[in-house]
Structure 1
Amino acid sequence: MNHPLRARLPRRTGLALAIALASLPALAAAQDQATTLDAVQVTAQRKVENIQDVPVSITSIDAEKLHVLGSGGNDIRFLSARVPSLNIESSYGRAFPRFYIRGLGNTDFDLNASQPVSLVYDDVVQENPLLKGFPLFDIAQVEVLRGPQGTLFGRNTPAGVVKFDSVRPSREFDGYAQLAYGSDALVNFEGAVGGPLGARWSARASALYQRRDDWVTNTWPGPNDGFEGYDESAARVQLLYEGDAFEVLFNLHRRDLNGTARLFRANIIEPGSNRFVPGFDKERVSIDGVNFSELETWGGSARLRWDFGDLSLHSITGYETLESLNRGDIDGGYGAAFLPPELTGPGFIPFAAESADGIPDHRQVTQEFRLESDYGGRFDWQAGLFWYREELTIDSFNYDSLAPGNPRAGHAVQEQENTAWAVFASAEYAATERLKLRGGVRYTKDEKEFSASVLEAAPFGAPVGGPYTVDTDVDDVSWDASAVYEVNDAVNLYGRVAKGFRAPSVQGRLLFAAPGAPNGGVSTAGSETVVSYEVGIKADLFDRRARLGFNLFRYEVDDQQLIAVGGGANIATLLNADRTLGQGVELDLTAWLAEGLLLTWGSSYNDTRIDDPGLAVAVCGGGCTVTDPTTSIDGATYALIDGNPLPQAPEWIHNLTLRWGIPLAAGELYFFTDWAYRSEVNFFLYESPEFRGRSSLEGGLRVGYGWGGGAYDLAAFGRNITDQTRIVGGIDFNNLTGFINEPRTWGVEFRWNF
């Protein structure tokens, strides 16, 4: 019998292909225009190549588009749904983004959570989730690599890689300064300056500052009067030395964030649906808990390259560290059900819940050596060694919201040391003038030493105890093989098969674990592996006035790591699913529709299914309607999730931008609009209409005038211009609590390029 994924895929594939083909007449009409697309250079295979020659499903976002998307001062989540198959969400606000590619991600909110999407910033992997939110400023390019990248990038890349590259120092004096002001007293400043420091040295300094006032009022006389404001700054300094056969690039960077943690809102979901309750007002809450988010990160790297003619040696050394504390009112309201009605609400609040998580101590060190050939013939290769070491301590606190001053009422600590090393090799061979073959292999060894203790018991939680320990020691071989066939100078066909690997995960959210829970409530998920198949076409159309990328993919994950979040017990438990299946299509299109009118368009369809008939997870603590089959385990209700889609995995993602430039005597008047759509998503592993996010469509608009040969730009902008409001996540242990997306923002911006 055919699996339901297989039955649906041909129809979905045909629809996406039909949409692409329907665009061709409009593109053909532009053939008489002179404007052509520049070649896009990427480093998806750790070397500079034309994106059309790379046998990977990849989207590149240039600096101008990043500038427009980030003009409202939003954090890295503004990339969500801006490329095919990419979703980003957070239950921590700006501090802790969670990435999903092709439906594969991790909803775990633990500060020790691993993600199957790796983020690489200036060639250094950012492993801890709090490192992944470093702001985007003075960026040359973003690359989103879909599918396993386990050969050249490492162990925790079974879903893909999001890669950021900063603007490098150069021999020319240049830079920019931009300042925006908008609604809710938004201030968004960016600037950079760089140039030569002598015959061999160059430098570049970049900075960002963002702030916004609170736009949500607290109507309860709690510790906070308002929420959703932030004050964030970041800086980067780079120093480049260029010798005759030697180059070194030093990088120092820092981030400071002081703002609001994720704002949870009690009982905002209408029972039996995924809509807001009548009378919902997004600008008002009633909360009696303390809320704040504080994060400080800094790091550095040294990237060295020695040129030996037809060989080059690369050394990449990275160091990252952070300190954080996030505290929030988890029940999303005030009081508790056992208090008089006038002292509890809004809606039903069974009991008060206020907690905080922080990292007081963290260190990550990475080292890579890579040897790369450049023979100029039919065969080239890369090979290298990688070493990774992370040490961190996590504090978890509980607080009594009902006592004066919200005193602490519980403390647990987690400590982990993670050491990993790998050896890898990759090769490329031109079998014929038109056919190129690639392949690679990587051996990884990963060890973790984990310990957790309850130092101060929380009410109704686990007693003082510990340390509870877990040690893991695994190894794995990941690989990839691909082929690119050049049909003609404009069209390439490719195929790829790849295996990825994610190391085991351990976490110990112990404060509310049941007394007597195995190992104090510490849970472990074993290694997961994925094998992915992909075929596609990359083409330059109409004499390079349009560029198309289209692919079909299918993957199978064995022992996928999942997190059963929350539920009536208010705990999070790691587990492995026997198998997960996914398949779909992805489309990228860039085209000059007419002189001065540029279109970018991306679409993806992702169908994911958990395949594990016996897998059961705890359901919500109250208020929701579970639509999965249920079973009773030790007197508690569990949902059987076999056949469910993965959480936060939209089937459809579409994105579109249009830029229309009108030349004037002294400059250019331009209009830029961008739109991003994602279909419905489940928030949790079980299915419930209350915890299924509605489809979302957000748009932006920018109208500007540039003059002075591109030196000056003045623009008015809007983000989320329709003021769409959506529930984008939930808390399911207590009541129908949720959190929402960012509001509409308007502003003006001036930019000076020099």
Structure 2
Amino acid sequence: MLQHPAQARPAPTALAVALALAAWPASQALAQEKTQLETVTITAERRVENIKDVPTAVSSISGEKLDVLASGGQDVRFLSGRVPSLNIESSFGRAYPRFYIRGYGNSDFRLNASQPVSVIYDDVVQENPILKGFPVFDLKAVEVIAGPQGTLFGRNTPAGVVKFDSVRPSQKQDGYVSLSYGRFGSFNAEAAANLPLTGDWSARVSGLVQRRDDWVKNTNSTGTRETEGYRDAAVRLQALYEPHKQFSALFNVHHRNLDGSPRLFRGGIIRPGSNDLVDGFDPKRISIDGTNSQDLKQSGASARLKWALDGFNVYSITGYETVKPFSRGDIDGASVYNAPAPFGAGFPVETSDALTGHRQLSQEVRLESTTPGPLRWQAGVYLFDEKYTIQATDYITPLVLSSYQTNRAWALFGSVNYELSERLKLRGGLRYTKDKKDLSTSSTDPARLRTEAGTSAHTDDAKWNWDSSLTYALNRDTNVYTRFATGFRASSIQPAAEFNPQSQARPEDVKSIEFGIKSDLWDRRARLSAAVFSYEVKNQQLTAVGGGNNANRLINAKKSKGSGAEFNLEVLPTDNLLLTLGASYNKTALKDGGLQVEACGSACTLRDPIIVPRNPAAFKFSDTVLIDGNPLPNAPKWTANLTARYSIPTAAGNEYYIYTDWAYRSKVNFFLYDSVEFTGKSLTEGGLRVGYIWDNGKYEVAGFARNITNKVVTTGAIDFNNLLGFINDPRTYGVQFKALF
């Protein structure tokens, strides 16, 4: 059982533990066993390498573990907490995930928000936050790369990168089908197959269909009658052309269609003076008087070309993405005229957000050396061009706001790897980025638009970033490393609206230092990676959300700091038992003595110093507080994850197995300010899977359950006037069948 931080005894750092384990005498290892862990290769630095040799904190999820965590039809948020220091949350449901690494992220919910965690799908950056929710299926691996990655990856990577790589086509005539059915009428079908082509071509088609019934009933006489269901479908078609070893071309076309419910806002579910749910709370009931609906269509294509020339390879990556989301909801999460206990009364707010005319183009050309010797290098150019229109609609007092934004950027980058000796290796990289944004806003009722800061803005930023690392091999199984890195996120603009003027945040910069160890132990029956780190963000871009005037504005903190430790451990104690364990400690804090925000439209219990109290008589409905020293929002101090798989082979060569997985995160602040009600409780969620595999692994049937303890807490909130929150999914369960062919 994890102890509360205040009760925990002082413990050695993760790095110290790692060094102790690495030095464990060989006589203590299980060397006599033949079974070993599989070698993990990653592309965290844009070339295939053993994970042990990459001098940065990288976690990889693939194979059965990825399948188990996705059981039951969860969206990409199922990855949250499954590797150290990763948190993912959303106030839009399946459509708009927000990523945080080492506590560093962005809670902004606007459709033009930028995030310091970059999501890259099949080598193409997914810049707009709506693009980041593309479903997870038929993947080779998911890599989470922590810390600034501002040299080799384009577009906003000061906190890190989450990288999704699809299974590539091959000439093998194989594939799979997976079907599951579970609670709330959830149905999931996933399939993939290499198509029977001949000659120099191979192709692979893969698809996913997920659906769930509406399981929450509206007790009010008006508004959407039932909600929380969805129908989510995605397809990917890849074609690979390889006429000879000197050239290959991989083409990718993909599409998603989501029809469902936005995140369900539940008014009045937080008990005043605490962060408990109110007495009598029922996840299956809601009382709203508005419409809840969500629709999203996303399409994209890419071409990845490779030429193998004398002494170097040339790569060209061309990407196109477009997305058209629409989300409408009863934002106050309550019925104004009929709100039976325990739901809060709220006030009439029903709005929608949409993107139209979205188009993202990206192009990268990269050169990579292939000449043998101590020196290796990469260099390239990156181009990015995006445009779209945001439409925000108020249905109660009719108003439509339209904001048009363009973003153009280019970058030059390069990196060098040099073997100083057989044991000591040096890496370094440099990148120059130029980024421009333009935004303009119009309104169907100009008199209601806050124009004191203007209705248009332009930004033009340029920045050099660099990183350097040293890796030293203690022996053939253990490497230690140190890494220094910087990162950059370009300026952001938020449009003028009815309740807040246009706002702008200056570019932010991060400096990071990391020390780590990676080791294969006990004749490769165990694998360990651990790191300690510290970073400082200058001019961090933050979003002040809510308060009595329902505002959403960008601000900069002079500084914020983060530090901590994390580790991953994978162990085969016996041939039939596989254990994985990960944990992280992250301490974050804002460092700006004069930074202040409006807080608590709900008259919550503040723990920050109040400098200007609320004054309803003067139309000031929230207190102004200082937030210096507060942790970053949605940044848990502690996380931990555990999986255990035990197999029971049969005499016929088949297998029964039991698989359990657990994820823990400590409490979080939902907003920049600190209050009792808007502090999310610590959360532990577990899963269980029991299955049978037969016919040489061709067939599998399993029963599964997610959130098996049925722990339900608020995982986010909206700062209106009625203590509104939203929750995690309650317990789900079902059965699954999978067949390989």
TM-score (norm 1): 0.93
CA distance in structure 2 between the partners assigned to 1:431 and 1:465 by the alignment: 59
Q: Which residue of 2 aligns with 1:109?
A: 109
Q: Which residue of 1 aligns with 2:430?
A: 441
Contact 1:599 1:657 in 2 (8 A): yes
CA distance in structure 2 between the partners assigned to 1:717 and 1:668 by the alignment: 17
What is the CA RMSD across the aligned residues, in angstroms? 2.2
1:14 and 2:27 correspond: no
Cα separation, partners in 2 of 1:11 and 1:159, compared to 1, 3 Å:
farther
Q: Which residue of 1 aligns with 2:480?
A: 493
Contact 1:139 1:165 in 2 (8 A): yes
1:364 and 2:365 correspond: no
Cα separation, partners in 2 of 1:580 and 1:480, compared to 1, 3 Å:
same
Decide which of 709, 715, 725 is 2:702's aligned counterpart: 715
Residue type of the alignment partner of 1:650: P
Q: Which residue of 2 aligns with 1:309?
A: 310
5+ residue gaps, structure 2: 1-5
Residue pairs, 1:87-98, within 5 angstroms? 87-98=87-98
Q: Which residue of 2 aligns with 1:453?
A: 442
Offset at residue 200 of structure 1 (A):
0.7
CA distance in structure 1 between the partners assigned to 2:235 and 2:212 by the alignment: 19
Decide which of 714, 720, 731 is 1:733's aligned counterpart: 720
Q: Which residue of 2 aligns with 1:212?
A: 212
Residue type of the alignment partner of 1:309: D
Offset at residue 596 of structure 1 (A):
1.3
Q: Which residue of 1 aligns with 2:494?
A: 507
Decide which of 560, 565, 575 is 1:585's aligned counterpart: 565
Residue type of the alignment partner of 1:480: D
CA distance in structure 2 between the partners assigned to 1:424 and 1:16 by the alignment: 32
Q: Which residue of 1 aligns with 2:161?
A: 161
Offset at residue 750 of structure 1 (A):
0.5
Cα separation, partners in 2 of 1:169 and 1:348, compared to 1, 3 Å:
closer
Decide which of 677, 696, 705 is 1:690's aligned counterpart: 677
Q: Which residue of 2 aligns with 1:516?
A: none
Residue type of the alignment partner of 1:261: P
Residue type of the alignment partner of 1:678: R
TM-score (norm 2): 0.95
1:544 and 2:524 correspond: yes
Q: Which residue of 1 aligns with 2:187?
A: 187
CA distance in structure 2 between the partners assigned to 1:742 and 1:184 by the alignment: 11
Q: Which residue of 2 aligns with 1:652?
A: 638
1:230 and 2:216 correspond: no
Contact 1:333 1:346 in 2 (8 A): no
Decide which of 641, 655, 658 is 1:671's aligned counterpart: 658
CA distance in structure 2 between the partners assigned to 1:13 and 1:507 by the alignment: 44
Decide which of 504, 512, 518 is 1:532's aligned counterpart: 512
Residue pairs, 1:228-377, within 5 angstroms? 228-244=228-244, 245-335=246-336, 347-377=343-373
Cα separation, partners in 2 of 1:645 and 1:464, compared to 1, 3 Å:
closer
SS in 1 for 2:275: coil
Q: Which residue of 2 aligns with 1:571?
A: 551
Residue type of the alignment partner of 2:360: Q
Residue pairs, 1:601-612, within 5 angstroms? 601-612=581-592
Offset at residue 32 of structure 1 (A):
3.5
Q: Aligned residues, how many?
A: 727
Offset at residue 17 of structure 1 (A):
5.1
Q: Which residue of 2 aligns with 1:339?
A: none
SS in 1 for 2:233: strand
Q: Deviations over 1:10-44 (max 9, x none)?
A: 94653785599699899957444321011100000
Offset at residue 345 of structure 1 (A):
7.0
CA distance in structure 2 between the partners assigned to 1:591 and 1:149 by the alignment: 29
Cα separation, partners in 2 of 1:546 and 1:344, compared to 1, 3 Å:
closer
Residue type of the alignment partner of 1:214: D
Residue type of the alignment partner of 2:98: R
CA distance in structure 1 between the partners assigned to 2:591 and 2:534 by the alignment: 15
Moved more, 62-71 or 556-565: 62-71
Offset at residue 71 of structure 1 (A):
1.0
Contact 2:539 2:557 in 1 (8 A): yes
CA distance in structure 2 between the partners assigned to 1:22 and 1:37 by the alignment: 17
Moved more, 317-326 or 192-201: 192-201
Moved more, 632-641 or 534-543: 632-641
Q: Which residue of 2 aligns with 1:405?
A: none
5+ residue gaps, structure 1: 1-6, 337-341, 401-407, 514-520
Residue type of the alignment partner of 1:639: V
Moved more, 725-734 or 99-108: 725-734
Cα separation, partners in 2 of 1:46 and 1:480, compared to 1, 3 Å:
same
SS in 2 for 1:375: coil
1:415 and 2:404 correspond: yes
Offset at residue 437 of structure 1 (A):
0.2
Contact 1:26 1:593 in 2 (8 A): no
Moved more, 708-717 or 202-211: 708-717
CA distance in structure 1 between the partners assigned to 2:393 and 2:277 by the alignment: 31
1:389 and 2:390 correspond: no
Contact 1:673 1:702 in 2 (8 A): yes
Residue type of the alignment partner of 2:419: A
Q: Deviations over 1:545-594 (max 9, x none)?
A: 00000110000000000000111110101010000010000100011011
CA distance in structure 2 between the partners assigned to 1:451 and 1:71 by the alignment: 43
